[in-house]
Chain A
Amino acid sequence: MSTTTLRTQRELPRTRLHGRRRPGFWVEIAASALVILLPSFVASPYLMRLFQDVAIWSILALSLTLVLGFTGQISLGQAAFYAVGAYTSVILQTALGVPALLAWVVAIVLGMALAYLISVPLLRIHGHFLALGTLALGLIVETLLVQLAPITGGHDGIRIPGVEYLGEWMQLRFPYIVLGTLVAAYWLVRNLTQHSMGRAFFALRDDPAGAAALGIPVARYKTLVFMIGGGLAATAGVLYAHHTQVVTPDSFGFDTSIEVLLIVIIGGMSSRLGAVVGAVVIVFFPEWLVFLEKAENLVFGLVVLAILLFLPGGVVGGVRTFFSGLARRRETHHPEVAS
């Protein structure tokens, strides 16, 4: 299937200038600084809340971008790691009195540990079946959150009042922590994918057998990607718990896994910026388009179908194709467009 190969190649992040500092590098630095400093010049608490929503969804979406977009492993259970992060952190702090920072570290490590454990059986399955397997995992965790009521609080969840557990100083600066973590997660994914290991991930996605033949340790790298993805999702969960100050099973179910998937598709599956763009779309659009109200899910579903059909690279991919199309105008006609 030559068309398939060409298409995947076109969706790859551009790697031509690897090793040299692209002008894009300084844009990324500037944008990162801007994002971290956002809380100091956004006065409206409402707007700041939305920005934190965006940041948390972005981190979660980055975890899926890494697993799905870059490495081609379909995960429909990303909310499971998100839940482990949030619940571990909250339970450690509220029930056991563990200090916040330590609880966060333990929560993230536990998220990665679950990813490691689960990757062992999941390595046996690929493609569609992997999607089914991760779906089952997400559903199991979702049900356990409700049923293990003595530990998780069941449907009511657990409250974690901010000032009480974080202290006033940290509670006031929590927006900086959220946005700072987003920037850190972004750079983690960025540097990982520009590293030789990231190239190996792309190879895993595009041609697993070929990658294995080239000496890429397929199983080890898949496990690693799951673990980093699980860790990122758990991090998002930790932040979410303090952001909303309550955790309930509703926020960590199948719908959440699907919402992350929508974010990744809307933004662009193989683009780290796509995760952020998709999160902006999914957080801000319902706020602006209030008239959509109940039709929100329907509209998003249709938008995603349209993107899959007409803009498989998502918003970021579309913009990128547009600009590279402009640049190539005068060059020879591209064969892949003709095919």
Chain B
Amino acid sequence: MSTFLQLAVSGVALGSIYGLIALGFLVIYHATGLVNFAQGQLLMVGAMATYLLLMQVGLGYPLTIAGVIVVALLLALLFRYGLHRPMVSRGAPTTNMVVATIAFGLVLTAAAELFIGNTKYGVDPVFPGAPLVVGSVSIQTQSLLIVVVAWALVGAIWFFFTKTLTGVSLRAVGLNRTAAAVSGVRVSRLITIAFVISVTVTVIGGMLVAPLIGAGPEMGLAIAVKGFAAAVIGGMSSVYRGMVAGVAIGLIEMLSSYYISSAYAPVIAYAILFLALVLMPARVRQSGAHA
């Protein structure tokens, strides 16, 4: 039983990261209809930036957090103005947009490999010290932090999309861009805001997960695939459903790698994504067509 609980705790922490990826993914998807395949690499940038600022420069966490958020802003603006907007204004078809996000991710990975090095680096946790012990289960403070921050972010994003004018306008952009523009919504600026939110959330995910699994240029894909799966299982719609699905995937991954086979655990995660895609209701699939 205690093994089970122990695994469940790790699963929920890891799953919250998947949920954050799903969240970042859905924000861009809803604003623009674009599926961003670079999401995992953005998370990688967050983790690597944390490693550089914290371990190499030695800034300490408060400054590192500020620095990483600056990196996220710059990255979001680069992504939006250097790649996304020029491609949209050239009328690029879906295929090209997908490939562009893949190539963007590839560039990020290659740059990290070239300038920092292709190994896995350890990153100190935010709160050093012994793990909390509850009954027979020991919980790492970082895991706890991940869950708290991830859910706080989901809450904040939910608040933004439902209670603020900007957030509601952003949803309007996603539903019908032309009608939103006619109603006086500044579409282009809102899409930029969506990019900033998405990239920042993802990069924070990378910062949170780095102490748990290390930071390395190749870390993105495996996490991103589970994030995509979470978004799809959550119905590609609400942010909290994606988060719940992410936690479920984290749990399944942890439990299956212990009770079934650690070698086949990734296959199970990929199969979940495949099945979720194939079995998702037509309503959800159609929503992808408007892009």
Q: Give min CB distance, B214 to chain A, whole Å.
A: 20
B103, A136: Cβ atoms under 8 Å? Answer: no
A305 lies within 8 A of chain B by Cβ: yes
State whether A124 touches B278 (Cβ < 8 A): yes
The answer to whether residues A3 and B91 also contact, given A297-B109, A304-B103, A305-B107 and a CB cut-off of 8 A, is yes
Nearest chain B residue, comparing its CB with the CB of A270: B95
Given that A4-B91, A258-B106, A308-B92 are contacting pairs, would A139 and B225 also be in contact in the complex, using a CB cutoff of 8 Å?
Answer: yes
Asked if B111 is at the interface of the complex by the 8 Å CB criterion, the answer is yes
Nearest chain B CB to A223 CB, angstrom units: 15
Q: Mark B11-50, 1 if CB is under 8 A from A, else 0.
A: 0000000000000000000000011010000000000000
Q: What separation, in Å, do the CA atoms of A175 and B226 have in the docked complex? A: 42
Q: Within 8 Å CB of B98, what residues of A?
A: 74, 127-128, 131
* Residue of A4, A135, A258, A265 contacting most chain B CB atoms (<10 Å): A135
Flag the segment in B142-150, B199-207, B268-276 that touches A: B268-276
Asked if B114 is at the interface (CB within 8 A of a chain A CB), the reply is yes
CB of A74 within 8 A of CB of B95, answer yes
Task: State in angstroms the CA–CA spacing of A72 and B95 once bound together.
Answer: 7
Residues 220-261 of chain A: 1 if any B CB is under 8 Å from the residue's CB, otherwise 0? 000000000000000000000000000000000010001001
What residue of chain B has the Cβ atom nearest to residue A307's Cβ? Answer: B103
Cβ 8 A contact of B288, one of A121, A127, A300, A302: A127
As a 0/1 sequence over residues 307 to 325 of chain A, the CB contacts with chain B under 8 angstroms (1 = contact) are: 0110010000000000000
The answer, yes or no, to whether B96 is at the interface (CB within 8 Å) is: yes
Give A302 to B104 CA distance when docked, in angstroms. 8
With A8-B93, A308-B87, A309-B83 given, is the CB distance from A128 to B107 under 8 Å?
no
B185 beta carbon closer than 8 Å to chain A? no
Q: Mark A103-133, 1 if CB is under 8 A from B, else 0.
A: 0000000000000000001101111110111
B residues within 8 A CB of A254? Answer: 221
Q: Closest chain A residue to B263 by CB distance?
A: A147
B81 at the interface (CB under 8 A from A): no
Which residue of chain A is the closest to B35 with respect to CB atoms? Answer: A128
Q: Quick check: B35 and A305 within 8 Å, CB to CB?
A: no
Query: Across the two chains, which residue of chain B brings its CB closest to A209?
Result: B289
Considering only residues 83-110 of chain B, those with a C-beta below 8 Å from chain A are: 83, 86-87, 90-96, 98-100, 102-104, 106-107, 109-110
Contact size range, B = 35 or more
* A127 to B34 CA separation, bound complex (whole angstroms): 10
Which chain A residue shows the least CB distance to B94? A127
The reply to whether B274 and A137 form a contact with Cβ atoms under 8 Å apart is: yes
Determine whether the beta carbon of B107 is less than 8 Å from that of A301: yes
Q: Which residues of A contact B264 (CB under 8 A)?
A: 143, 147
**Is A326 part of the binding interface, using a Cβ–Cβ cutoff of 8 Å?**
no
Interface size on A, residues (CB 8 A): 47
Known: A125-B278, A128-B98. A297 touches B91 (CB 8 A): no
Instruction: Identify B270's interface contact among A74, A143, A309, CB under 8 A.
Output: A143
Interchain nearest-CB distance for B82 vs A (Å) = 9
Give B239-290 interface residues, CB cut-off 8 Å to A.
263-264, 266-267, 270-271, 273-274, 277-278, 280, 285, 288-289
How far in angstroms is the closest Cβ of chain B from A71? 11
Cα–Cα distance between A74 and B101 once the two chains are bound (Å):
13
Least Cβ–Cβ distance between B267 and chain A, in angstroms: 5
Chain B hits for A76, CB < 8 A: 102
> Which residues between 3 and 38 of chain A lie within 8 Å of chain B, taking CB atoms?
3-4, 6-8
Which one of A7, A143, A305 lies within 8 Å of B104 (CB-CB)? A305
Measured CB to CB, the residues of B under 8 A from A are 34-35, 37, 83, 86-87, 90-96, 98-100, 102-104, 106-107, 109-111, 113-114, 221, 225, 228, 232, 263-264, 266-267, 270-271, 273-274, 277-278, 280, 285, 288-289, 291
A-B contact pairs, 28 of them (CB 8 A): A7-B91, A7-B93, A74-B95, A121-B274, A124-B285, A129-B232, A129-B277, A129-B288, A131-B35, A131-B37, A132-B35, A132-B273, A135-B225, A136-B225, A136-B270, A136-B274, A139-B270, A140-B274, A147-B263, A265-B103, A269-B96, A294-B114, A301-B103, A302-B107, A308-B87, A308-B100, A309-B83, A312-B96
Question: Which chain A residues have a beta carbon within 8 Å of chain B's beta carbons?
Answer: 1, 3-4, 6-8, 68, 72, 74, 76, 121-122, 124-129, 131-133, 135-137, 139-140, 143-144, 147, 254, 258, 261-262, 265, 269, 294-295, 297-298, 300-302, 304-305, 308-309, 312
Closest 3 CB pairs of A and B: A128-B35, A297-B110, A301-B107
